[in-house]
């Protein structure tokens, strides 16, 4: 969301903040995609590269926090500018955690790549695709200042939750029918849970966009 200012230096600071936030979100979205790609394609090298890329996400979190604090200290913003900074500070926390969850997916993928495939992956890639889309569309809503678009993203978390429940039931059936599948099934269940949590964090991002645009805190609302 772009706010125009007569102070050109202040405007550059806010533009830099927005660009850094979008860059961080783009890197996290890529990590989500590649973590599940590493699982599906049994690609250890991609899994390790994705794990390594989390370092850049961590560094961006620190940089954005510093920028926000510097703007707060120097500009003492109020109203919409203050909401921009509050939103950015909250968003980077969720984005950093999403990067960690993508790393968790890669770690489980490295374990599973040493075992025979348990099943064809269908629902797990779909969960990842939904989570990626939620991140991307939330940031589009952030740039456009579109609270309605953010609300639509929030509603999509129900699809992620439904897929997680479906995956859980299927894996439970595998384990009940053949105890030899327990190691692989529990790792896949963990991956599905990580992806379900990614959907929750993307929902948090959407709620922050609503707060930014409308000044309304809709967290924990029915």
Give 210's Cβ-side CA count (13 Å radius): 18
Torsion angle in degrees (nearest 10) through CA of 96, 98, 104, 109: -130
pLDDT of 1 strictly over 70: no
Q: What is the mean pLDDT of the chain?
A: 91
Q: Render pLDDT for 26-81 as a digit per residue (tens, 0 to 9).
A: 999 999 999 999 999 999 999 999 999 999 999 999 999 999 999 888 877 767 78
Which residues lie closer than 8 Å to 210 by C-beta, 6 or more apart?
Answer: 147, 150, 151, 154, 216, 218
Average pLDDT of 91-108?
97
pLDDT score, position 155: 93
Average pLDDT of 161-177?
95
Q: Supply the pTM of this predicted model.
A: 0.91
Burial label, 126 (beta-carbon count in 10 A; 0-12, 13-18, 19+): middle
pLDDT score, position 107: 98
pLDDT bin (cut points 50, 70, 90) of residue 207 is very high
Average pLDDT of 123-139?
93
pLDDT of 203 strictly over 90: yes
In this structure, of 4-8, 32-36, 93-97, the range with the lowest mean pLDDT score is: 4-8
pLDDT score, position 7: 66
Cβ neighbours of 13 (radius 10 Å):
18
pLDDT bin (cut points 50, 70, 90) of residue 221 is low
CB 132 within 8 A of CB 201: no
């Amino acid at each position: 969301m772009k706010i125009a200012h007569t102070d050109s230096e202040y405007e550059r600071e806010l533009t830099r903040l927005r660009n850094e936030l979008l860059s961080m979100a783009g890197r996290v979205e890529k990590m989500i995609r590649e973590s599940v790609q590493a699982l599906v394609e049994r690609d250890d090298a991609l899994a390790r590269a994705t794990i390594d890329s989390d370092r850049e996400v961590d560094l961006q979190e620190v940089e954005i926090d510093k920028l926000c604090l510097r703007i707060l200290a120097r500009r003492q913003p109020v109203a919409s500018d203050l909401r921009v900074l509050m939103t950015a500070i909250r968003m980077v926390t969720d984005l950093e955690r999403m990067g960690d969850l993508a790393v968790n997916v890669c770690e489980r993928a490295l374990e599973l790549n040493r075992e025979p495939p348990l099943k064809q992956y269908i629902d797990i890639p779909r969960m990842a695709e939904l989570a990626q889309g939620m991140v991307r569309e939330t940031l589009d809503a952030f740039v456009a200042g579109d609270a309605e678009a953010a609300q639509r993203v929030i509603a999509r978390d129900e699809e992620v939750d439904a897929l997680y429940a479906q995956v859980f039931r299927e894996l439970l059936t595998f384990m009940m029918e053949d105890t030899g599948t327990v190691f692989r099934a529990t790792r896949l269940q963990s991956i599905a849970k990580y992806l379900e949590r990614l959907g929750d964090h993307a929902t948090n991002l959407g709620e922050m966009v609503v707060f930014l645009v409308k000044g309304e805190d809709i967290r924990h609302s029915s």
